Amino acid sequence: MGLTIAEIRDRAERFRATVFQELHDVRSGRKAWPELVPLFQTQGILESSRTLPVIERAIASAEDEEERELRKLLRWAARHHLEAHNARLDDEFAHWRATAKVETGDIAVPVSQASNLIHANDSREVRRQLEEAHHDTLEEAVPLQLDRLSRWREAAAELGYGGYREAVERLAGVNLVGVLSEARRLIEETEDVYREVARDELKLRLGIRPEDAESHDAGWLKRMPWLDGSCQEGDVLGILRKDLRDIGLPLEYGGHVTLEHEPFPGPGMIAHCTPVRIPDQIHLLVTPTITQPGCVALLRSVGRALHYAYTDSRLSFEDRALGDLAVVKGHGLLFSGLSREEAWVRRTRGLEGQALEEYLRTAAMTDLFSLREAAARFEFEIELSEEPSPGELGPAWAERLTAATGFRFHPRSFLERLGQRFGVARFLRGRMLAAQLRRELRERFDEDWYRNPLTGPFLADWFAHGLRFSAAELGASLGNDRLSADALISDLREPFQ
């Protein structure tokens, strides 16, 4: 006897919880790397040959909301097929990242932590040496990365969803070409302001000309090591929790969020939100880091936790967990954007006067760098998806990212990105939604919307929809014709006007 839709839903939800608990154990330092193969081996009953026909038949006779939910379940079943077929290679890659060492001189660090070490070092020469050693280590994994990409493509073809890119579009329900158009527009319409502010920052912080800038310099600027100590997560979290309580949006709502304080975090461990079961089992890991990336990660994780905790428990599994993940990404990015709000920074970081002005300018410039880099990476991933010899695209990668950011990228730096699966598209769409929502909040509740008591009920209702609606649909509900880069481009230019 075959599976029923109810049985597929139940097994899918339980399996998803198991996988996310495994991921949380890794993020919280209980395990060094995830082991997904044993989990997938227990779920033979969820093989695509058993689930996809059942769901497709149900869709044929479904209407309206039922059809909408079933299509989300269909996408999950198809993605489960891809992830199951790639689990062994993904486990191997995770193990390699946790155990392979980047070594130079007296320094040896796991490859997964190499970028953190590089970007925290004030010496350009040391950063350059570390980056070169990092590239040497990445080359060890090229065969594995190519195998992962090849297996993913083969598994997608088995589904009959067309090529690699077409399969991703069907699974995500997103037109990637449309996202690419907005990404290109973002680069074009921020070109003038970006070049000017990047030139000034490089002169102020590094004393170099734009033509001498390298990718590790951008990482150092984003890391802002000169501010270590001004960001104490206890203060940031404490102020944020008080603000949320004051506006009627407590982080502790319903006891859904479990705060886990890690007093002695491992290397590179930062705040993270893991939704094991939505909405009632949300883990929020908080670490006592004092870095700029740590502050941003904390704010982003709180935004994600609020989304999941306030999701209406009466929604179907599909609408709670299987919708457009750009939505929850956007809500996290909305809150991480507080790290660039003048009033918020003054209250939480203790910066005033020239120090505050310089911080805000650097934060805005590096944010613009990150988005232009992401846009260029996405365009590269489109090219990569159609390339029969992906291992030879290093020079094209370096040329594209160097042109978009003005920082020189080494061709070998793309090796770390070979296994990417269009996750950057989710980031770009999330930022577009976050910008549209931020504009709405500022128009309704003023610039300090995060302290306005009227904001709480609005966001509680907004988050209650969970993942029922896509990022594009939520953007339309705010009066936008589509999910475009308009509001985002306006936000990016605002600090320099």
Same domain as 209, residue 60: no
- Which residues fall within 8 angstroms of residue 228, CB to CB, at 6 or more apart? 290, 291
d(CA 114, CA 108): 9
Whether 458 is in a domain gets the answer: yes
Pick from 55, 71, 99: which residue ends a domain? 99
Share of the chain above pLDDT 70, in %: 97
Query: Any idea which residue has 């077409």 for tokens?
Result: 166
Neighbours of 75 (CB within 10 A): 18
Q: Residue 419: phi, psi to the nearest 5?
A: -90, 10
Pick from 99, 124, 159: which residue ends a domain? 99
Q: What is the pLDDT of residue 362?
A: 95
Helix and strand counts by DSSP (H, E) for the chain: 22, 5
Q: Give helix 191-201 / helix 353-385 axis angle, nearest 10°.
A: 120
d(CA 259, CA 262): 10
**Token digits of residue 448:** 């300090």
CATH number at residue 442: 1.10.1370.30
Do the beta carbons of residue 245 and residue 365 sit within 8 Å?
no
Do the beta carbons of residue 405 and residue 218 sit within 8 Å?
yes
- Give the confidence band of 338 by pLDDT, cuts at 50, 70, 90: very high
Tell me the sheet residues that pair with 258: 283
Domain, as residue range, for 54:
5-99
Neighbours of 32 (CB within 10 A): 16
Whether 155 is in a domain gets the answer: no
Task: Give the CA distances from residue 210 to residues 35, 205, 411, in Å, rounded to whole numbers and listed in that order.
Answer: 44, 12, 19
Do the beta carbons of residue 495 and residue 340 sit within 8 Å?
yes
Query: Per-residue pLDDT averaged across 283-296, rounded?
Result: 86
Whether 104 is in a domain gets the answer: no
Whether 248 is in a domain gets the answer: yes
Whether 146 is in a domain gets the answer: no
Whether 133 is in a domain gets the answer: no
Q: What is the pLDDT of residue 420?
A: 63
> How many residues are present in the chain?
497
Whether 113 is in a domain gets the answer: no
Pick from 80, 99, 118: which residue ends a domain? 99
Same domain as 233, residue 356: yes
Which is higher by pLDDT, 475 or 234? 475
Q: What is the pLDDT of residue 384?
A: 83
pLDDT tens digits, 465-490:
999 999 999 999 998 888 999 999 99
pTM of the model: 0.95
Total tally of structural domains belonging to the chain: 2
Residue 232 confidence (pLDDT) above 60: no
Same domain as 272, residue 366: yes
Same domain as 460, residue 360: yes
Same domain as 200, residue 64: no
For residues 289, 294, 299, 303, the Cα torsion angle rounded to the nearest 10 degrees is -100
Neighbours of 140 (CB within 10 A): 13
Same domain as 242, residue 93: no
Same domain as 189, residue 68: no
d(CA 154, CA 147): 10
pLDDT tens digits, 155-209:
888 888 777 788 778 777 788 999 999 999 999 999 999 999 999 999 999 999 9
Neighbours of 336 (CB within 10 A): 21
Task: Give the CA distances from residue 348 to residues 123, 264, 289, 351, 453, in Å, rounded to whole numbers and listed in that order.
Answer: 29, 23, 15, 8, 20
d(CA 310, CA 325): 16
**Sign of the torsion angle spanned by Cα atoms 311, 316, 322, 324:** negative
Task: Give the CA distances from residue 386 to residues 176, 303, 343, 382, in Å, rounded to whole numbers and listed in that order.
Answer: 13, 35, 46, 7
Q: What is the pLDDT of residue 289?
A: 65
H helices of 337-417, in order, are: 342-349, 353-385, 394-405
3-state secondary structure 31-75: CCCCCCHHHHHCCHHHCHHHHHHHHHHHHHCCCHHHHHHHHHHHH
For residues 279, 468, 180, 89, the Cα torsion angle rounded to the nearest 10 degrees is 50
